[in-house]
Structure 1
Amino acid sequence: MAALEMTVVSTAMPRIVSDLGGIQNYAWVFTAYMLSSTITVPIYGKLSDLHGRKPVLLFGIGLFLVGSMACGVSSSMEMLIAFRALQGLGAGAMQPMAVTVIGDLYTPAERARVQGVFSAVWGIAGLLGPLTGGLLVKYLSWHWVFFINLPVGLGAAAVLFTSFHENVQRKPQRLDIVGALLLSAGVVALLFGVQGTGKGMVWLPVALLLLVAFVFVERRVSDPLLPMSLFKIPSIAISASAGALVSAAMFGATTYVPLYVQGVLGGSPTLAGGIITPMIVGWPLSSLAAGRLLLRVGYRPIIVGGFGLSVVGSVLMALLLRPGTSMLVPQIGMGLFGIGMGFSSTATMVAVQTSVGWELRGVATANTMFFRTIGGALGVGVMGGVLALQLLRDPSIPVSAANELLGPEHGRSLPPEMLRTLSGALETGLTTNFWIISAFAAVAFLASLFFPRTERVLAATTSAPPTTSTTPTPPASEATAPH
């Protein structure tokens, strides 16, 4: 569901803006979803370590489906943004818990292969998402890009409920409520701050104070929401920082490249969504390769090489995407970006899960996913502010004109002078965003150069998975896994 949601919604967004209006809030449809999923990831991770993965995952799927149905019946951009936030509250449990379950079921060497196979769902979604989204928008309506989650989610929940069983040894621990509130408020304030101009910038010092207070609390409570000791492990610290940066680039690309194709190049919704396909197909293919290469060369070469490919893909788009550009340019750029993400994300996740035992695996996995998601949310927020500022710079052009530009007629009813001005403003704002994407990817690559030179993944640890679906004690082989 998470993979399909990204490609289907990205394909439909220009038509949604044309129908509901509110292009100045375009980014909030994505950032509201990412924000609500981000602030809940550490909470879900901690709850899963206390009560097991299954109840958390089932709750997340249920909440995601309620949010999806509400998005589908939205009649305004404000309603859609609010219900996307609700949808994100469920998504915060889905993907991190699914990845954590893999860490529970398999030994370190087996995880390297299984994580690659697991990533194949992104390839399937990459092929089906743009086509499905385009057909739904063309023959039904954009509302159905949210309704389509219902049968998928019910099927996933049924399989999980009947086939996944775990034996959790519960401990008398309490959830760090104060830490959760401080982290949530700090992230919200930070997102408002990075998107604000003028008086809106006041949110940045507020965010700083809240996040400093969060760290202060986490260092003193007996059972922290996000143990600061995790960041003493180099593989976790670097995976978190580099993952946040490259996710800002990745979410920016998947949000704004389709908008460029449809709003500047005049492509159809199906074509705009198809631009993302090379990235999401290349991602699982390189993940499969990474799973095998990890046993031969270790983590660092794959991580550094993957981040390097993402830089090449993003710079290619920033340099060459111009009016009249061949569609091959964004396709090649997104393909290289996806291949790089497949290598780096698989290797970093396996490295993180190998660095801790069962009792911390949920929070360590959630921590990595948290930084990836917060990076994406903040990155899209910054770029949304850049685009809105560019579109609203000329007060003579009404916002409704920008909404009409993304309609099925591509603004043909607008006066020629206004159309040229508006297209130029959209092109300038998006080109600036492409350079911002490249900058995020480049800094992530620089951070990856500090990844520790560890031993190779232990090839001997390929024992069969435990008889139960999860186990509260980590395999003995993990005691000697590289940190």
Structure 2
Amino acid sequence: MRTTHRPLTTVALATSIFMAALEVTVVSTAMPTVVGELGGIQSYAWVFTAYMLSSTITVPIYGKLADLYGRKPILLFGIGLFLVGSIASGLSTTMNMLIAFRTLQGLGAGAMQPVALTIIGDMYTLEERAKVQGAFSAVWGVAGLIGPVTGGLIVKYLSWHWVFFINVPVGIITFALLLAFFHEQVQRKPQQLDFLGAGLLAAWVVALLVGVQGVGQNLWGLPVAAVLLVAFIMVERRAADPVIPMSIFKHPAIAISSVAGALFSAAMFGSTTYVPLYVQAVLGSTPTVAGGMITPMIVGWPIASVFAGRLLLTSGFRPLIVGGLGLTVVGTTLMALLLKPDSPLLVLQLAMALFGIGLGFASTALLIAVQTSVGWELRGVATASNMFFRTIGGVIGVGLMGGVMVSQLLKDPSIPISAANALLGPEHGHGVPPEMLKTLSGALSTGLTINFWLICAFTVAAFVSGLFFPKVSRNLSSPVAAADAAAPH
């Protein structure tokens, strides 16, 4: 049995996370230009939600497959699919094509982050993991620093198509490193995947997204989603090998982490999607400036994560979770109050930095709390389920805010949708009659302001849920911690 080369495997896992992190800032800063060229502002949110939806649905499935068949083949498959989707997205010539290939890209991304984080949980003991997970988050900082600048330069000097091609060389290197240096010993058991549960889960997520994105229309999705959720829970309770074992939610740490993760992720993905749009379309700034608005959040997150990893073993989980979520409330409240045409950008960047710092403290503590609540045999599905709830929060948040924005833009039926598309283009509506442009800008500003208050509301709800987080034992002699040290590598 060949042994895993821990340093090089860790590098490969870091580059895997780097691709996901880079995707956030590069695509967000390029999207207004994409809409200006391809049209389809009414589908703006779907470019993000299609990616998140497909990755959300597959996260728990990949987590279960990783527990059954090993982490390596599942992660390699996910990276390969992500690269195919990235190339196809870059070759898109219509908005519908882009949405379809972003869906394919998301199907691969669903395996990357949860399985990579699970492998980190396998390779390192609890004491090591608290430090490694925090330092590991520094990857987000690097991506956050270079992402907006890279996205702006690509859009300015090349073409928006290249924002998807940029991940290809990174993905190839990651694939090769994992193939050569990561080895595991897996005891495969004759178990079947819960296809009925997986199907109900997928249908529930789709119905929920349709319902929340309707904003007055297609509200039938909400009651359908409620029925499907009940059916999913019933099936999972009876399944011999469920996609998401309901028993893991008996651990208060996992249950609270799932709720808090969904709520703060709705705020996080909402801000990375709509703050750049506001800066470009309403304030008339460049893609680079727009990306610079979310950079403090993405950089503040890993810096706080590093400190969280070091403080965790002495402070415990709860202070970091409650304090971190409290900071997100302060940051998003300032953002909602100050994100106006006459506000200094530096003040807004400070608000975003506070938001990111709070996320760094809370998310690191929540993830490690989940991983220490179960043994190796359930760590993959527990980590994946936590990532699932974070992603579903992002999907619902972005979808809801997209519905709010489009409903405001379509309030006046006399204004053609093509004018709204032009408003988001690089020339900021050049050629559109001034009165029409003023009306559109006002409608877009109103819709996005509502979204910023929704972002604030999500962080308040996450903070309230964090207050219920229990005091979790960090005793390394406990059964779960002992299982931590017994990862089969």
TM-score range (shorter-chain normalised) is over 0.9
**Take 2:242 and 2:181, find their aligned partners in 1: how far apart are those partners?**
32
1:289 Cα shift? 0.0
Q: Map of 1:190-229 to 2, 5 A cutoff?
A: 190-229=208-247
Over the matched positions of the two proteins, sequence identity in percent amounts to 72
Kindly indicate whether residue 121 of structure 2 is the aligned counterpart of residue 103 of structure 1. Answer: yes
AA in 2 matched with 1:235: A
Alignment match, 1:53: 71
AA in 2 matched with 1:305: G
Kindly indicate whether residue 96 of structure 2 is the aligned counterpart of residue 78 of structure 1. Answer: yes
**Take 2:441 and 2:215, find their aligned partners in 1: how far apart are those partners?**
23
Return the match for 1:302 from 320, 329, 345.
Answer: 320
**Take 1:113 and 1:206, find their aligned partners in 2: how far apart are those partners?**
43
1:162 Cα shift? 0.5
- What 5-or-longer segments of structure 2 have no aligned partner? 1-18
1:330 Cα shift? 2.5
Kindly indicate whether residue 377 of structure 2 is the aligned counterpart of residue 364 of structure 1. Answer: no
TM-score (norm 2): 0.94
1:250 Cα shift? 0.5
1:288-314 C-alpha deviation (Å, 9 max, x unpaired): 000010011100000001111111111
1:171 Cα shift? 1.5
1:457 Cα shift? 5.9
1:354-405 C-alpha deviation (Å, 9 max, x unpaired): 0100100000000000000000000000000000000000112111111111
Equivalent pair of 1:189/1:206 in contact (CA under 8 Å): yes
**Take 2:472 and 2:258, find their aligned partners in 1: how far apart are those partners?**
17
Equivalent pair of 1:296/1:456 in contact (CA under 8 Å): no
Alignment match, 2:482: 476
**Take 2:53 and 2:378, find their aligned partners in 1: how far apart are those partners?**
24
**Take 2:424 and 2:64, find their aligned partners in 1: how far apart are those partners?**
42
1:350 Cα shift? 0.6
AA in 2 matched with 1:258: P
Return the match for 2:25 from 7, 13, 19.
Answer: 7
AA in 2 matched with 1:196: G
Alignment match, 2:268: 250
Kindly indicate whether residue 151 of structure 2 is the aligned counterpart of residue 133 of structure 1. Answer: yes
AA in 1 matched with 2:77: F
Kindly indicate whether residue 291 of structure 2 is the aligned counterpart of residue 273 of structure 1. Answer: yes
Return the match for 2:332 from 295, 314, 319.
Answer: 314
Q: Map of 1:322-361 to 2, 5 A cutoff?
A: 322-361=340-379
1:388-436 C-alpha deviation (Å, 9 max, x unpaired): 0000001121111111112222113222211111111011000000000
**Take 2:204 and 2:156, find their aligned partners in 1: how far apart are those partners?**
41
**Take 1:448 and 1:474, find their aligned partners in 2: how far apart are those partners?**
23
Alignment match, 2:9: none
**Take 1:199 and 1:137, find their aligned partners in 2: how far apart are those partners?**
35
Equivalent pair of 1:179/1:218 in contact (CA under 8 Å): yes
AA in 2 matched with 1:122: W
Alignment match, 1:187: 205
Equivalent pair of 2:375/2:483 in contact (CA under 8 Å): no
**Take 1:97 and 1:454, find their aligned partners in 2: how far apart are those partners?**
24
1:19 Cα shift? 0.3
**Take 2:462 and 2:234, find their aligned partners in 1: how far apart are those partners?**
27
Pair 475,298 (structure 1): closer, same or farther in 2 beyond 3 Å: closer
Task: Return 317-326 or 59-68, whichever deviates more.
Answer: 317-326
Q: Give the ranges of 4+ consecutive aligned residues of structure 1 lying more than 6 Å apart after TM superposition.
A: none
Task: Return 331-340 or 403-412, whichever deviates more.
Answer: 403-412
**Take 2:250 and 2:229, find their aligned partners in 1: how far apart are those partners?**
19
**Take 1:443 and 1:231, find their aligned partners in 2: how far apart are those partners?**
19
- What 5-or-longer segments of structure 1 have no aligned partner? 462-472
Equivalent pair of 1:294/1:457 in contact (CA under 8 Å): no
**Take 1:237 and 1:288, find their aligned partners in 2: how far apart are those partners?**
25
Equivalent pair of 1:21/1:400 in contact (CA under 8 Å): yes
Aligned CA RMSD, in angstroms, stands at 1.6
Alignment match, 1:469: none
**Take 2:243 and 2:187, find their aligned partners in 1: how far apart are those partners?**
19
Return the match for 2:172 from 138, 142, 154.
Answer: 154
TM-score (norm 1): 0.95
The size of the alignment, in residue pairs, is 468
Equivalent pair of 1:70/1:83 in contact (CA under 8 Å): yes
**Take 1:127 and 1:457, find their aligned partners in 2: how far apart are those partners?**
37
